[in-house]
Amino acid sequence: MTERKLNPPTDNRKPLTERPSQHPEPGQGPGRMMDPNIPGMLRLAVFLGFALIVARTMPDGLLPHALASLLNFAALASCLVASLRREPIWQDHLTRWDEAAVLMAVSLLAGAFADPQVLEGYRQAAGLGS
């Protein structure tokens, strides 16, 4: 019976850090560079998804109102975080300022589909309006 070696000797006796397999091509391997836009897009998707899920819990007809309000607050929160982190506005990748602009645009778009008479009807039914 032959003895098996776990680590057979290699032809090149270079240290592991100098072997070609340890230096993959850019964008490949365990140390690959991640696209700098991915975190911003993920935050944007989380904001939009959370706002849509919460807005869907509202009664019929109030979805655009709730969505517009929630996205407006999300845009303000994104602006607040961007200003506290002192992020520059003009970058070559997505920043929190860009997220705030997209969230505000979607908020205004959702508000364009909101029917004010539906909101007024709910206010009067709840005894909140005059």
| Domain range annotation of the chain | 35-41+66-130
Mean pLDDT throughout 91-117? 93
**Looking at residue 109, what is its pLDDT?**
96
Q: Looking at residue 19, what DSSP letter applies?
A: S
pTM value is 0.70
Q: Is the dihedral of CA 104, 105, 108, 114 positive or negative?
A: negative
In the structure encoding, which two tokens stand for residue 22, read together? 């340890």
Give how far the C-alpha of residue 96 lies from the chain's centroid of Cα atoms, to the nearest Å: 10
Helices (H), the chain: 38-55, 63-84, 96-112, 116-126
**Looking at residue 125, what is its pLDDT?**
85
